[in-house]
Amino acid sequence: MSETINVREGEYFDLEAVERYLRAHVDDVPEGDLEVSQFPSGASNLTYLLKVGDWEGVLRRPPLGPVPPKAHDMGRESGILEKLNAVYPLAPRPFFFCEDESVIGAPFYVMERREGVVLDESFPDSIEPDENLCRGVSRTVVDTLVQLHAVDVEEAGLGDLGRPEGFLERQTEGWISRYEKAKTEEIREVEPLTEWLARDIPESPPPSIIHNDYKLNNLVLDPEDLTHVRAVLDWEMATVGDPLFDLAVSLSYWIEADDPDELKAVMPTVTVTPGFMSRRELIDLYAEESGRDLSEMHWYVVFGYFKLAGILQQIYARWKKGQTTDERFATFGERVRTLIVHAENLSRTGEV
């Protein structure tokens, strides 16, 4: 099965303009016609595969329609990758950033292509997963995150990337505000949930570089050994902040086989396959490998679900207003409700 699709209607761009810019800024592009296809997954930035002969690159641009202030900053994202790649090679290297919106109608950047397997809703047909493989992939997910959080922020030249002081307070206030601005219906569980989150914010451990959208389907895995990572993708929200927040975001996407069916439907994933670790096992493994205190992880997990609800709500609001016509987003309203109800229930039960 191909990793890419034909470019979706309304999401095309001026191929000749991109080819001119590409050849002016990348030395090793061979002779030949530029071909473009689109990576279909993801609900945020638009990502395209560029090909000229044997040469390949990946173009990233913001989504169509109005976007929140400071969001989808292509210059920031490519700048982070340029510095991070030197100390954390799993971050792909960018070739250039283009701020001239006359080229395709928005800022964009092009980075190196890292080929491999991305595990999303299912395994490739050529792979028959057993419990050992699934457990190995689970461990790899944790290992890769622990390695990122061990990067020396100053050595990477990213000391000015974020504001670690008060990080959790700003995240809590910010996501509550974003949700309220984007809401399209009243959900009664929102008020008790947001009050609970704001009431008892934990004290953060020492800060680290965080991906801020770390999840299994943002890893490119080696087809010959799925426990080996070739790249970590989608760095648009990376910053310096609370590493446990990063872990919680990952856990909000991690579904277990005995989770409620409505939760499984929010973000279908291979992690329901027998052998994948539970969320509790992932937490314990991260604590063991990182040496960090995870005694407050319950709060982080609840917040992770609320943040995911906020992200989906912003996308759903754009779809409902007709700012995007991607039919994948039509069901996001119900998914938001599921996440809010689940998070509010977790806030009362103390589970993860």
Specify which residues 49 forms β-bridges with: 37, 58
Instruction: Give the model's pLDDT for residue 12.
Output: 87
The Cα 299–Cα 293 span in angstroms is 13
Give 69's pLDDT tier (boundaries 50, 70, 90).
Answer: low
Name which of 237, 243, 244, 250 is nearest 314 in CA terms: 237
Instruction: Give the model's pLDDT for residue 64.
Output: 75
Task: Judge whether residue 29 has pLDDT over 90.
Answer: yes
Angle at 321 between CA 332 and CA 188, to 5 degrees: 50
Instruction: Give the model's pLDDT for residue 312.
Output: 94
Instruction: Give the model's pLDDT for residue 326.
Output: 79
Amino acid found at 22: L
pTM: 0.91
Q: What is the pLDDT of residues 126-166, one digit of tens each?
A: 999 999 999 999 999 999 999 999 999 999 999 999 899 99
The residue count of the chain comes to 352
Q: Was domain 15-112 assigned CATH 3.30.200.20?
A: yes
Name which of 269, 270, 255, 268 is nearest 304 in CA terms: 255
Task: Judge whether residue 35 has pLDDT over 60.
Answer: yes
Specify whether the backbone of 14 is left (phi greater than 0), alpha (psi in -120 to 50) or beta. Answer: beta
The domain limits of the chain are: 15-112, 131-349
- DSSP 8-state symbol, 292: -
Q: Both tokens of residue 211?
A: 């991906």
**279-290 and 131-149 are packed helices; what angle lies between their axes, rounded to 10 degrees?**
40
Amino acid found at 312: L
**Three-state SS at 334:** helix
**Residues in contact with 140: Cβ distance below 8 Å, sequence separation at least 6, in sequence order:** 219, 221, 226, 227, 228, 229
* Assigned CATH for 131-349: 3.90.1200.10
CA atoms within 13 Å, Cβ hemisphere of 278 = 8
Specify whether the backbone of 32 is left (phi greater than 0), alpha (psi in -120 to 50) or beta. Answer: left
The Cα 235–Cα 52 span in angstroms is 25
Q: What is the pLDDT of residues 170-227, one digit of tens each?
A: 999 999 999 999 999 999 999 999 999 999 999 999 999 999 999 999 999 999 999 9
**Three-state SS at 169:** helix
The Cα 35–Cα 8 span in angstroms is 15
